[in-house]
Structure 1
Amino acid sequence: MFYSIQGESSFAGRPCVLVRLTGCQMRCRWCDTTYSFYEGEWMSRAAVVQRVAAFGCPLVELTGGEPLLQPGARPLMAELCDAGYEVLLETGGGVDVGGVDPRVHRIVDLKCPASGEAGNNHWPNLELLTPRDELKLVLAGEADYRWAKRVVEEHRLGERLPVFFSPVHGELDPAQLAAWILRDRLPVRLQVQLHKLLWGAETRGV
């Protein structure tokens, strides 16, 4: 758990408490938080809420790993909402996002082919998302871009909610991704990881 500047999504740039939960069923090729697979400490929901309160920040995000693998994640988010926090959920897209408190902003990371995990996307999630939610696709190259473009167009996602295309750090030039988006006039937003620009790609706890 740490206090930092939110690095992604439409909330990027805002101070945020990030609660990183342990465990993930996916093994994305470019994962930058592999330590979350196994590291961490057991805490009760009450202890988490108490520690969050100590930061004095109104914005909280549950992330991972895959936070929805933890059975306490959904009730924890509801408790944080009840306490008056603005709550974000960043999920890997392989777990059903149904049953999450409707006050929570769900940020779903749909896996592209180069991740090695596109076969594990939970596609019914796309029909559950609302305008207050967000969809993120991390792209490693042109093949991923073509795949993501097709998904956005076939599901008319740009008309339904904010969609973010993010380049894999160190693999896809953000300027190249910008050129493709502009060329195709896609209704998506280009996103770079702000925290990596500020503190570098190897720094943890930011």
Structure 2
Amino acid sequence: MVHTPFPLQHSITQPADAVNLRVSEIFFSLQGETSRAGLPTVFVRLTGCPLRCGYCDTGYAFYGGKSLSISTILAEVARYVPHYVTVTGGEPLAQKECLVLLRLLCDAGYSVSLETSGALDISRVDARVSRILDIKTPGSGEVEKNQWSNLDHLTRHDEVKFVLCDEADYEWAVEAIRERKLDLICPILFSPVYDKLDPATLAEWVLRDRLPVRVQIQLHKLLWGEGPGR
């Protein structure tokens, strides 16, 4: 069953053993993207997503998974004794209880990041979390799902990501940066779709246009190839 967005009406201060989330996987690997690339990180991948981006490489997380209490999730994360934790999906915010998990991970002293599509409201995410907001381009097939009001909640602690399929996506992203002055809000990431847009070509475009963005490639795929987990 695909989780869809619904109102965040309950308190996010419930005890960890009283709140369950549907989890696709929890694993320890190197962060492959963002400014944290290369850092040993525990990933908590939640199940479900209301979007269907054409290049999605985690479709296996749309369905299934296991229902786990947040206390169980916290215990599994702690087993790796990490410094960095990333909550991802699917779309993690499609489960309202994700807010509880994020808060408790921060309370536990981890450096926490959230990978979210930008299609759901981020305003109630704990301010200690680094929010990685993926703005959907036309090539994703989900550009109409962008919730642009999310930009009002971003700080320099967060990051905006554009996943680019081709030159048309690149030009669209450049226009979005200039029109919305995104470089004044937070760091910007440009990521080429794996096996679709040549990273060297993207790098040349960025150098040519002198863009204030970080070009990133998926380190985990360079190391281990495609596939679930890492």
> Do both proteins adopt the same fold according to a TM-score greater than 0.5, normalized to the shorter chain?
yes
Q: Distance in 1 between matches of 2:87 and 2:167?
A: 30
Q: Distance in 2 between matches of 1:99 and 1:28?
A: 25
**1:94 is matched by which residue type in structure 2?**
A
Structure 2 equivalent of residue 189 of structure 1: 214
**2:172 is matched by which residue type in structure 1?**
W
Runs of 4+, deviation exceeding 6 Å? none
Q: Distance in 1 between matches of 2:137 and 2:154?
A: 18
Number of equivalent positions: 205
Post-superposition Cα deviations, 1:100-119, rounded to whole Å, max 9, x if no partner, equal 00000000011000100000
For 1:60-79, list aligned pairs within 5 A.
60-79=85-104
Q: Distance in 1 between matches of 2:229 and 2:139?
A: 26
Structure 1 equivalent of residue 108 of structure 2: 83
CA-CA distance at 1:6 after TM superposition: 0.3
**1:205 is matched by which residue type in structure 2?**
G
Is 1:6 the counterpart of 2:12 in the alignment? no
**2:69 is matched by which residue type in structure 1?**
S
Q: Distance in 2 between matches of 1:88 and 1:111?
A: 19
Please give the root-mean-square deviation of Cα atoms over the aligned residues, in Å: 0.7
Structure 2 equivalent of residue 173 of structure 1: 198
CA-CA distance at 1:159 after TM superposition: 2.3
Structure 2 equivalent of residue 154 of structure 1: 179
152-161 or 102-111: bigger deviation: 152-161
CA-CA distance at 1:62 after TM superposition: 0.4
Structure 1 equivalent of residue 228 of structure 2: 204
Match for residue 144 of structure 2 among 119, 138, 152: 119
User: Where does structure 2 lack aligned partners over 5 or more consecutive residues?
Assistant: 1-25
**2:44 is matched by which residue type in structure 1?**
V
SS in 2 for 1:42: strand
CA-CA distance at 1:39 after TM superposition: 2.6
**1:151 is matched by which residue type in structure 2?**
A
CA-CA distance at 1:158 after TM superposition: 1.3
Structure 2 equivalent of residue 36 of structure 1: 61
SS in 2 for 1:170: coil
Q: TM-score, length-normalised on structure 2?
A: 0.88
Q: Distance in 2 between matches of 1:137 and 1:39?
A: 28
Q: Distance in 1 between matches of 2:115 and 2:224?
A: 21
Q: Distance in 2 between matches of 1:13 and 1:179?
A: 23
CA-CA distance at 1:205 after TM superposition: 1.1
